[in-house]
Amino acid sequence: MTDTVRLVALSAGLSTPSSTRMLTDQLSRAAATAIGRDGAEGDARIEVDVTTVELREYAHDITDALLTRFPNERLSMVIEAVRAADAVIAVTPVFNVGPSGLFKMLFDAIDIEIWKNKPVLLGATAGTARHSLAIDYAIRPMFGYLKAEVVPTVVFAASADFGADTDGQADEQPLAVRVRRAARELATMLSAGIGASAGGAEAAAGAAQDAAARDAAGTAAEAADGAPAEPTSTLDAEFADFVPMDRLLGRG
């Protein structure tokens, strides 16, 4: 049995080549290796399909989507790829203690429901390690608001980190070590079923909607028999189990 895990890697680098794309590729390769290793330890063989998106190539499309509120065909393909992905790797350069404007514009241009329960591995790059806290203070909170499932280890890379494989050359922990740890955590989240709850939530919403429809049909039948009919609920499926306060207090 072969399962396919779909990863989408978003790189917000502004130049070619860029350190942001280099970090994105390192995280993608490490994640694919870790996920495949988890599959090898189980009964199923796992194939990892990685799609890398350079946001700079969609800068005009993202801007148009912000102005018109309608993504064009090119951007729609990216959005659908993110929607269908089992996990997302998102990497941005840090400017003025925050993500790049291009990175933030993407999230402003698309539906926030896409990110709900989506496993996300975060990465960031900057010229020096002095910007390292930006990923926790400016980038992680944004994904918390989007209700994404952020991998515990986030990976920051300064210019000195690239090519440093031993202690003392760059950060206290070499970049490769941090990348592998974050990738293993993402693989663990996926094997534990984190992120699969998004489909379960949709199914639950559909079941709630069906239950509301059955209740409405039963109410109509009671009305036909002469029994007093309660007003039909017009609430969304998300609030189908809402109970009025007077009923909770025993007054209904």
The pLDDT assigned to 247 comes to 73
Name the more confident of 223 and 101.
Answer: 101
2-195, which class in CATH?
alpha beta
Q: Within a 10 A sphere around the Cβ of 239, how many other Cβ atoms? A: 10
The pLDDT assigned to 202 comes to 46
**191, pLDDT greater than 70:** yes
**84, pLDDT greater than 90:** yes
C-alpha to C-alpha distances, 171 to 8, 74, 122, 128, 168, nearest whole angstrom: 27, 39, 18, 10, 7
**224, pLDDT greater than 50:** yes
Q: How far apart are CA 47 and CA 49, in angstroms?
A: 7
Region(s) of the chain under CATH 3.40.50.360: 2-195
Q: How far apart are CA 184 and CA 179, in angstroms?
A: 9
Q: How far apart are CA 117 and CA 168, in angstroms?
A: 38
Identify whether the C-beta of residue 115 lies closer than 8 Å to the C-beta of residue 130: no
**163, pLDDT greater than 90:** no
Name the more confident of 44 and 94.
Answer: 94
The pLDDT assigned to 159 comes to 85
Enter the pTM of the model: 0.74
Mean local confidence (pLDDT), 190-202: 65
Among 29-33, 78-82, 210-214, name the one with the lowest average pLDDT: 210-214
Taking phi first (over 0 means left), then psi (-120 to 50 degrees means alpha), and beta for anything else, what does residue 193 get? left
The pLDDT assigned to 45 comes to 76
Name the more confident of 46 and 54.
Answer: 54
Q: How far apart are CA 3 and CA 195, in angstroms?
A: 16
The pLDDT assigned to 170 comes to 47
Among 18-32, 35-49, 172-186, name the one with the lowest average pLDDT: 35-49
The pLDDT assigned to 237 comes to 64
Mean local confidence (pLDDT), 50-54: 96
Q: If you write DSSP's letter for every residue of 124-183 in order, what string do you get?
A: EEESSGGGTTHIIIIIHHHHHHTT-EE-S--EEEEGGGTT--STTSSSSS-HHHHHHHHH
The pLDDT assigned to 30 comes to 96
Instruction: For the chain, give the mean pLDDT.
Output: 82
Q: Can you give the length of the chain in residues?
A: 252
pLDDT tens for each residue of 92-144: 999 988 899 999 999 999 899 999 999 999 999 998 888 888 999 999 999 99
Q: If residue 244 lies in a helix (H) or strand (E), which one and from where to where? A: none
Identify whether the C-beta of residue 237 lies closer than 8 Å to the C-beta of residue 208: yes
The pLDDT assigned to 26 comes to 95
Q: Within a 10 A sphere around the Cβ of 18, how many other Cβ atoms? A: 18
Mean local confidence (pLDDT), 210-222: 53
Sequence-distant (≥ 6) Cβ neighbours of residue 71 within 8 angstroms: 61, 65, 79, 109, 110
AA identity, residue 161: D
